[in-house]
């Protein structure tokens, strides 16, 4: 007979809690437990000779953190920032990093069973960033591996 604790553990293991956001026309999801904050854009200080996708650094709660523009990282055309543009601040392997996204959509709870690995022929040069694809009712959600986005 299953105890209440084992039922809760099984339920929490089978559900993914994600923050969904858009970059270009695509919708992505990241583990909500990695997200520290979602902010409107703030002033970014440029860093000389930084890689092209590193937009610069910001002062986040007294810490200077790097900011990665996901449009540039994914090879998408540069777009003017607008009122929907957000900075998602995440904690990864004891590093705090900011990601510029076009728009934050929602917080989702989806069963892990509706996700699957990306089809091998459907992924391009950014395949190493993709953990899987979530099949929602009327859309697909690409699940990102943020550690690989930062370290590649």
Structural domains of the chain in order of their starting residue, each with its CATH number: 18-151 (2.40.50.180)
pLDDT band at 40 (very low <50, low <70, confident <90, very high): very high
The residues near 116 (Cβ < 8 Å, ≥ 6 apart) are: 132, 133, 135
Residue 123 pLDDT exceeds 60: no
pLDDT band at 124 (very low <50, low <70, confident <90, very high): low
What stretches of 39-117 show up as alpha helix (H) in DSSP?
70-73
Cα separation of 90 and 19, whole Å? 11
Do the beta carbons of residue 6 and residue 56 sit within 8 Å? no
Cα separation of 32 and 69, whole Å? 19
Do the beta carbons of residue 98 and residue 68 sit within 8 Å? yes
Residue 98 pLDDT exceeds 70: yes
Of 7-11, 44-48, 89-93, the poorest mean pLDDT is in 7-11
The backbone torsions φ and ψ at residue 80, rounded to the nearest 5 degrees and listed phi first, read -60, 135
Closest to 86 measured CA to CA, from 20, 16, 18: 20
Average confidence score pLDDT of the chain: 86
Of 9-13, 65-69, 118-122, the poorest mean pLDDT is in 9-13
Token couple for 39: 């902010």
Cα separation of 38 and 42, whole Å? 11
The backbone torsions φ and ψ at residue 121, rounded to the nearest 5 degrees and listed phi first, read -80, -15
């Amino acid at each position: 007979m299953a105890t209440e604790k084992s039922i809760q553990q099984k339920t929490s293991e089978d559900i993914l809690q994600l923050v969904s956001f858009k970059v270009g026309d695509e919708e992505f999801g990241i583990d909500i437990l990695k997200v520290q904050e979602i902010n409107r854009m703030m002033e970014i200080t440029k860093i000389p000779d930084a890689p092209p996708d590193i937009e610069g650094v910001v002062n986040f709660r007294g810490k200077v953190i790097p900011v990665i523009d996901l449009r540039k990282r994914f090879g998408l055309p540069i777009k003017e920032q607008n009122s929907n543009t957000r900075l998602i601040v995440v904690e990864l392997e004891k590093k705090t990093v900011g990601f510029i996204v076009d728009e934050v959509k929602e917080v989702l709870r989806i069963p892990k069973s509706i996700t699957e690995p990306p089809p091998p022929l459907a992924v391009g040069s950014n395949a190493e960033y993709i953990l899987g694809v979530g099949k929602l009712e009327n859309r697909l959600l690409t699940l990102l591996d943020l550690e690989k986005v930062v370290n590649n």
